[in-house]
Chain A
Amino acid sequence: MALVLNEEQQMLKEAAAGFLAEKAGVAQLRALRDSANEDGFSREVWAEMAAMGWAGIAIAEEFGGIGYGYTGLGLVLEQAGRNLSASPLQSTVLVAATLIAELGSAQQKEQMLPAVASGELLVSLALQEGPHHRPEQVATSARRDGDEYVLSGSKILVADASTASSFIVIARTSGDAGDPAGLSAFLVDAASVGLTIEHRSMVDSRNAGAVGLDQVRVPAPNLLGEEGKAWEGLSRTLDIANIGLSAELLGLSAEAFERTVAYLKERKQFGRVIGSFQGLQHRAAELFAELELARSIVLQALQAVDAGDENLPMLASAAKAKLCEVAQRATNEAIQMHGGIGMTDEHEIGFFIKRARVVQHSFGDYNYHLDRFALLSGF
């Protein structure tokens, strides 16, 4: 597949850029933050996004989606990154819907995917338990009891926790922590008895929370896929999630960089614009080169998802590691090159480093993915 966008993708990208800049930009994120909105996003804007088909963008047409694939979703996520647009695109569309499509039975997919595609059903993955992403270490337990499973444990960093109507909880039906075998995925209603949601205020002003499970009884048909065999589908979902988040980081980094270059052409010191200083020019040029590499690896990884490339795990870790590195550098340089004003809450540039850090951490950071990339490369 050629590493270029086709006409349909180009139009989607432009439509997303225009809409998000107007309806879900940094100013809107600031307003959501300052009004202490627990949803963390605007439900009206989300309804408009769903009406344009974005909630079902990567969902197959037979399940009510528009079937643009992950390359299509990636383009929208890139624009969401540029505008720091808050919405359930990541939690529900990128992650939960993918996991349902990977693990669910035909009946489960028919029940849930059209509801996701319409924008009505908000689902979020409850996976992480400790401070770091270590999916095979899950200790939350699920015990079969008649027609039900009984789940106990606690999850953190659950994206959009206070708006999700249900969670996909990863729990252990057998084996010990550290064992990829024995993990199962359950669809759990947010209103279940024994389930508690604690909203947590995060650095990026988005909605995330902790989910407690105390003897939560889940009907057996809510098991996604086979008992104890969630790992393969979960692992592929995490690869796709990391590639989608890399697309978001690409947009975020490119926007922070472009705003910074514009500032270099405008800010004067010593009687000339600071962008004329070679010390800053070379740093900007190096960052430009890194962003070009970032753009290529993200596009390659997105296309690899849609093409069913067997190299996906290696490409996913390559993309996430590279984008974590580039995003960190771009957002740090953005603040440094803006100088004092970059440190103020009043200026928008500071919002970029905050969101970047949360995305970097989600589903494995630079260190996690560089290690995995090396292992998958044979060393």
Chain B
Amino acid sequence: MIPTLSIDDLCISFPRHGAPIPAVQGVSLSIAPSECVGIIGESGSGKTQVFMAAMGLLASSAAVSGSIRFEGGDLLSADTAVLNRVRGSKLTMIFQDPMTSLAPHLKIGTQLAEVLVCHSGMSWRDAWSSAARILARVRVPDPKRRLHQYPHELSGGMRQRVMIGMSLLCEPALVIADEPTSALDVTVQAQLIELLRTMRGELGMALALISHDLGVVAGLADRILVMYAGRIVESAPALELFSHARHPYTAEMLKCIPSLSGPRLARLPTLAGQPPQPGEQLEGCAFAPRCPRVAARCRSERPLLSPAGAAAVACHFPLPA
């Protein structure tokens, strides 16, 4: 079976004052058809850049190496004409801010129908009715009227529904959702997670869900990748990750989530220190300065991502399974 997306040894760096600053270092991953993979990590961990590279949306100054294949075809070396046939139709992306990712001066209907006119060669009339159908599908009330509205007339949650609808218009094989609910209220977030779950069930597309919020990822993902300082440090089935995190970073992150039940705490659990600064290269493990399990070896030798059952962990001293 050909994976929907397969990334091998991806490295991305951006120049600063003439020197390359690595943002992503040796990331390999694969997403199977219909699989939902969650990618979690803090800001600056490189999680978004990996998928911006897949979409061909990296800043032009970025230096990229490695390979990214979508349904077997190479994306990195593909020219723009080839990329344009794939992205927006079979490979789509939803962004965090639903206001800035819709064009403010075009009607919702125009923006949706345009996708079908460009990718499926539909007439505007047919595309317009398909657009109404997709809005109904993503539970936008009164879709025919919405088509004639502008983005500012919709609430944040409705705009994000429109974005989700737009990403589904051409029956994509993979939808990349980058922090799709982070800008929204918790009640709206719950509805959108539910919507993504339903759409996956109905349409069977694969989903890459990028978030810093473990709760959002927990509700949807089959498998979770944890990124830290530009690398994948742990990969595990979702249930296993939440019950038996192997990497100390994952375990510490889980401890930092304040709970809604149990005893109230006088102080919140924290992870001391900060992630490495961009460009700060550590000889050993990037998490060593903050790690409660750190040993001498961690500071001199970088641990590689090694398989451990259904999971993989990049740590010299992982927690027991």
Q: Do A and B bind each other?
A: no
Binding site for A on B (CB under 8 A): none
